[in-house]
Chains A and B, each alone.
Chain A
Amino acid sequence: MKKILLVEDDDNILMALTVRLRAAGYDVSVAQDGFSGVQQACRIKPDLIISDISMPAGDGFSVAERVNTAVSTVGTPIIFLTAMKDPDLYERAIQVGAVGFFEKPLDSARLLLAVREALGESA
């Protein structure tokens, strides 16, 4: 079973996405801030990280940067989520090597498609 690490500070979105991803057959781990996201990533070595951008204790970009500099997690694909409407965020997401970028509210069908693609499962 493919492992996905979900980093999101909002309890409700975290729960909704966990339900959605588990229903799609993934092993989902969660973290609620950037710092524990990085810790969790090093521990479980996920196949994919889905992370919110603005969070306490380290934003989504810092998660991407840290994960990509740690030997055990380097190259982990990351998909960003944000409720902010700011074209600069998209630019930065591309710069840190994101494989997906989604504005909230999420289109879960599109998100699942991006997840499958990032995990090399595209039908």
Chain B
Amino acid sequence: MTPIPSDETITVVAIDDDPGDLEILQRHFEDLEGMRVDLHCHSEPAEALAEMLAHEPDCVFIDYLLGAATGVDIANSIRQNGLHCPVIIMSGQGSEKAAVATLHAGAADYMIKDKITPQGLKRALANALEKSRLERSVREHQRRQEKAVLDLTRRNQEVQRFYHTLSHELKTPLAAAREFASILLDGISGPLNADQSQYLGIVKDCCDQMTTQINDLLDVTRLETGKLVVDIHPEDLGGLARQVVRTFESNAAEKSIRMRCEIEDDLPMVPLDRVRVTQVVSNLMSNAFKFTAECGWVVVTARISPDEPGFVEVSVADNGRGISPDHQAHIFERLYQAEKNDFYLKGGMGLGLNICRDLVQLHGGTLSVSSEVGRGSTFTFTLPLERASIASPSANQLETTR
């Protein structure tokens, strides 16, 4: 226990309707060794409260029986008036009922008048002051925490708004650049030679890459703040996979990569967000293309999960350069790629796989990788066949804000 510094005067208010009892208490306080007490005696609770509201004392002693009211009532009204000073209840007769009521009301102590000694009083007072000091620091701590949470929430909203504005401001000129490139490519302003077409095609591709990256950035902030919600309906997963594969046909032709789509027959309808699952498959496909050399292969498979009952799985496999075990452990982490700044990982902000993982988790599934350096990689994600197993939004938020 922290000893009360002797050079500090402790202000105490005592409320008792018996003047004799007050006098005894006053005498006890005068005898306290090493403690200077400035005692204010009151017989009227209302009067005492008025004084306490003007100057909050360090401690209050209240008689348990005060005319119509009890000491507990007074203690409650002290609290209701926003005062936090510790309250010690004194009782003429020791009654268990009174003691229990007292402690329930949050009093610091309960003393029986006949048994009060200067030593006992000093100990009770020191205890009450220490307890009150601790409570005050807890309250202060709580207040600071609440403020920190509030500040963070506000900051988060600011960041979110900033990203939205940023994305709008970036996409508008990008849209114009892309449109002019495509006007030229389409020959609207005259015929182009082969080189000109090729170069403008690159301009257009670069605009598309920037768009993807801006959208990824937005998705990450929305996942982080729990604002990304999946819109789930029963869908034809096989059809979705085939459709994504078709969009990669020109990439496949360009790099002479063989592409195959293996969809299991009789695949049931799967509850999913069409836009988001398309995004996941596209992202895995574009990674596969990025890391697979000319004349390699990319295979997309969709089937009932052989390992996990009640789930379907989609995998995108390639025979590209593969991912080393060190990297495998981290590739789903946000910004891992950007942090490493590794030639091996080749471009991008490192958001794509992180977004894929979170999107799959929002559906209640998992995304995993198996890979061998020099032999290729297989990314597999699962989706539950029943909506019931979909993770609750709060669980997701915990997961994504780690």
- Point out residues on A near B: beta carbons under 8 Å: 10, 12-13, 15-17, 19-20, 23, 54, 83-87, 104-106, 108
Given contacts A13-B176, A20-B188, A83-B172, 12 further A-B contacts (CB under 8 A): A10-B172, A12-B173, A16-B179, A16-B180, A16-B183, A19-B188, A83-B168, A83-B171, A85-B215, A87-B231, A105-B175, A105-B178
Q: Is the CB of B168 within 8 A of A84?
A: yes
CA distance A12 to B207 in the complex (A): 15
Q: B114-144: which residues lie under 8 A (CB-CB) from chain A? A: none
CA distance A118 to B189 in the complex (A): 26
Which of A83, A85, A87 is in CB contact (< 8 Å) with B175? A83
Known contacts A12-B173, A19-B189, A83-B175: does B182 contact A108 (CB below 8 Å)?
A: yes
Smallest CB separation, A53 vs chain B (Å): 10
Number of B residues contacting the other chain (C-beta, 8 Å)?
A: 24
Q: How many A-B residue pairs have CB under 8 A?
A: 61
CA distance A20 to B181 in the complex (A): 11
Q: Is the CB of B176 within 8 A of A84?
A: no
Known contacts A13-B176, A105-B175: does B168 contact A19 (CB below 8 Å)?
A: no
Q: Is the CB of B179 within 8 A of A108?
A: yes
- Most chain B CB neighbours (cut-off 10 Å) among A16, A23, A105: A105
CA distance A16 to B189 in the complex (A): 11
Known contacts A16-B183, A105-B208: does B176 contact A85 (CB below 8 Å)?
A: no
CA distance A16 to B215 in the complex (A): 23
Q: Contact string, B12-36, partner A, CB cutoff 8 A, digits 1/0? A: 0000000000000000000000000
**CB-defined contacts of B175 to chain A, threshold 8 Å:** 10, 13, 83, 104-106
- Residue ID in chain B nearest A11 by CB atoms: B176
Q: Is the CB of B174 within 8 A of A105?
A: yes
**CB-defined contacts of A85 to chain B, threshold 8 Å:** 164, 167, 215, 218
B211 at the interface (CB under 8 A from A): yes
Q: Is the CB of A23 within 8 A of B168?
A: no
Smallest CB separation, A113 vs chain B (Å): 14
Q: Is the CB of B172 within 8 A of A20?
A: no
- Point out residues on B near A: beta carbons under 8 Å: 164, 167-168, 171-180, 182-183, 186, 188-189, 207-208, 211, 215, 218, 231
Q: Is the CB of B183 within 8 A of A104?
A: no
Known contacts A20-B188, A105-B179: does B173 contact A54 (CB below 8 Å)?
A: no
- Residue ID in chain B nearest A52 by CB atoms: B172
Which of B164, B178, B182 is in CB contact (< 8 Å) with A84? B164
Which of A10, A20, A83 is in CB contact (< 8 Å) with B183? A20
**CB-defined contacts of A86 to chain B, threshold 8 Å:** 164
Sample of 20 A–B contacts (CB below 8 Å): A10-B176, A12-B176, A13-B175, A16-B176, A16-B180, A16-B183, A17-B179, A20-B183, A23-B186, A83-B167, A83-B171, A85-B164, A86-B164, A104-B171, A104-B174, A105-B174, A105-B175, A105-B178, A105-B179, A106-B178
**CB-defined contacts of B182 to chain A, threshold 8 Å:** 108
**CB-defined contacts of B180 to chain A, threshold 8 Å:** 12, 16
- Residue ID in chain B nearest A81 by CB atoms: B175
Q: Is the CB of A13 within 8 A of B188?
A: no
CA distance A19 to B208 in the complex (A): 21
**CB-defined contacts of B231 to chain A, threshold 8 Å:** 87
**CB-defined contacts of B164 to chain A, threshold 8 Å:** 84-86
CA distance A73 to B61 in the complex (A): 81
**CB-defined contacts of B176 to chain A, threshold 8 Å:** 10, 12-13, 15-16
Which of B168, B177, B179, B188 is in CB contact (< 8 Å) with A54? B168
In the A-B complex, list the 7 residue pairs whose CB atoms are closest, starting with the nearest. Answer: A12-B176, A104-B175, A16-B179, A83-B171, A105-B175, A23-B188, A105-B178
**CB-defined contacts of A84 to chain B, threshold 8 Å:** 164, 167-168
Q: Is the CB of B179 within 8 A of A20?
A: yes
**CB-defined contacts of A10 to chain B, threshold 8 Å:** 172-173, 175-176
Known contacts A19-B189, A20-B188, A108-B182: does B218 contact A13 (CB below 8 Å)?
A: no
CA distance A94 to B178 in the complex (A): 27
CA distance A87 to B182 in the complex (A): 27
**CB-defined contacts of B215 to chain A, threshold 8 Å:** 85
Smallest CB separation, A6 vs chain B (Å): 13
CA distance A87 to B231 in the complex (A): 10
CA distance A87 to B218 in the complex (A): 13
Smallest CB separation, B402 vs chain A (Å): 24
